[in-house]
Structure 1
Amino acid sequence: MVKIYVDPGHGGSDPGATANGLQEKNVTLAIGASIRDILQLEYENAEVRMSRTGDTFPSLSQRTNDANAWGADFFLSIHVNAGGGTGYEDYIYPSLSDRSETAVARASIHEEVMKLIDMRDRGMKEANFHVLRETAMPAVLTENGFIDNSADAAKMKNNGWIQNVARGHVNGLERALGLRKKANSTFLIRVKAQSLYYYDAPDWDARAGVVSQGEVFTVVETLTVDGATMYKLKSGNYITANPQYVEIV
């Protein structure tokens, strides 16, 4: 198994950058949780651990110590930028060779993210960040747009864009770490819903049945709203050769 540590930046009492009605901590958690979900549901040899799964604030040392103690093979820290710019960039620790495992992984992530997010490419950079310096494994930090740029922020408010960011990261990780896709099949999650649109917690024991409002629906995607995981629901069965969800029956 390839052990991947996903670190959504900030959280809890530390909102990170704030602008345009957004807080960095919520955007990073939405991206990080989506990365985790794709890795767990689509890959047979990926094991994922997150520094946080809710609105909490582990210190920087707690994040790196946890990853090191777990024996992670790769550390991925998710952030969004601020300061008047626009676009995507990513970082590794300074002085690493361009041929290093870390640099090669960063290049794969960078290329795959840029294919999907429709943002200016700000390049691949270096920085002496704690999470890059104190990790015992290859580590990459990504800055996914500028929260104080109205065009970038508008994208951050779009769950489709969040999913594309996550997918780009995962595609890069697949290339860099040799991740293997699960065999193609029909993958669904069904939940009992209070309404046609969102329900704040799935009933994992729900059974497939008559598809009508108030009964059984299919999870189409997840997103984070004000720190809470929400589930977008739609009636009907979905069959895909590139599954994102697993059937619970």
Structure 2
Amino acid sequence: MKLYLDPGHGGSDTGAQGIGLNEKNINLDIALRIRSILTSQYEDVTVRMSRTDDSTKSLTERTNEANDWGADYYLSIHCNSFDGSAQGYEDYIHSSLSDSSTTADYRDTMHNEITKVNQLRNRGKKKANFHVLRETTMSALLTENGFIDNADDAELMTDPEWRQTVAQGHVNGLAKAFNLQEKEDAGTLYKVVAGSFQAKKNAENRMKDLQSHDIEAYIMSVSVSGKQWYRVQAGAFAKWKNAEKRLQQVKDAGVHDAYITREDS
């Protein structure tokens, strides 16, 4: 599968701005993580990116490059902005396409996998006449991964683990949509995080609650921005699908903000 991966904006075009963040930087970070996971974890995947650094590139240059290369799929990574009050995730296919089109089928799979893990409000599946959706000759999707000017969404964006999880959600969608095959030994662990607390007592209570539901759980001490946190971990797995099953068990036990992190050996 040939994926053209497009981190939106870049260089002189910062994209949306808010709460000390530039959209171009968030887009690039997530896209680089998507490429890393795909190329290290899956067979027969080639990724070409519109940019791999903070460089300026026109929309026409991006779509022409993807078309000339003969990409199988065009994936454009973005963040949103409004007035500080809106928040959440949404994605777009071109407005001319029907809900029964191949592009819509791919989008449905991508949307389901991304929203499973991104901890954002689900704003739904949408259509628009964006250049990268209109001028591409292959199926194309544009994802809007939160509102950069919303305090809650922006706080998530500053967390590299969240950006990794969002990247993994995109990869999960691609893997299902295009039937990608995992490499035999990828050397990766997927860890289910069931809460992080500054008070150890709160972490202990969460651990005991999970154990009462017959879910393996233990506490790890981590330092984030110079502050001590107690993280409740509910298992580590070599395969994403096993971590995903555990994540669902944890959510069924009432921990709705649990998520999966990826750690390479």
Query: Normalising TM by the smaller chain, what interval?
Result: 0.7 to 0.9
Query: What is aligned with 1:58?
Result: 57
Report if the CA contact (8 A) 1:88-1:143 is conserved: yes
| TM-score for both structures, normalised by structure 2 | 0.71
Report if the CA contact (8 A) 1:89-1:142 is conserved: yes
C-alpha separation in 2, matches of 1:79 and 1:112: 17
Query: What is aligned with 2:159?
Result: 158
Deviation string, structure 1 residues 177-229 (Cα, Å, up to 9, x no partner): 111111135469xxxxxxxxxxxxxxxxxxxxxxxxxxxxxxxxxxxxxxxxx
Residue 28, structure 1, aligned to residue 27, structure 2: yes
Equivalent AA in structure 2 for residue 148 of structure 1: D
Aligned to 1:89, the other structure's residue is in SS state: strand
Runs of 4+ in 1 over 3 A off after TM superposition: 185-188, 242-247
1:96 offset after TM fit, Å? Answer: 1.1
Query: What is aligned with 2:71?
Result: 72
Query: What is aligned with 2:111?
Result: 110
Query: What is aligned with 1:39?
Result: 38
Residue 81, structure 1, aligned to residue 80, structure 2: yes
C-alpha separation in 2, matches of 1:132 and 1:185: 33
Aligned to 1:170, the other structure's residue is in SS state: helix
Equivalent AA in structure 2 for residue 55 of structure 1: D
Equivalent AA in structure 1 for residue 172 of structure 2: N
Aligned to 1:57, the other structure's residue is in SS state: coil
C-alpha separation in 1, matches of 2:20 and 2:146: 15
C-alpha separation in 2, matches of 1:83 and 1:187: 37
C-alpha separation in 1, matches of 2:170 and 2:264: 21
Aligned to 1:90, the other structure's residue is in SS state: strand
Q: Structure 2: state its 5+ residue gaps.
A: 190-235, 241-261
Alignment RMSD (CA, Å): 1.9
1:98 offset after TM fit, Å? Answer: 1.4
Report if the CA contact (8 A) 1:186-1:240 is conserved: no
Paired positions, count: 196
Residue identity over aligned pairs, in percent, reads 55
Aligned to 2:133, the other structure's residue is in SS state: helix
| TM-score for both structures, normalised by structure 1 | 0.75
Equivalent AA in structure 2 for residue 26 of structure 1: N
C-alpha separation in 2, matches of 1:124 and 1:88: 9
Q: Structure 1: state its 5+ residue gaps.
A: 189-238
Report if the CA contact (8 A) 2:188-2:238 is conserved: no
Equivalent AA in structure 2 for residue 113 of structure 1: I
- Taking a change above 3 Å as real, the CA distance of residues 64 and 82 of structure 1, as seen in their structure-2 partners, is same
Query: What is aligned with 2:238?
Result: 241
1:242 offset after TM fit, Å? Answer: 3.9
1:94 offset after TM fit, Å? Answer: 1.0
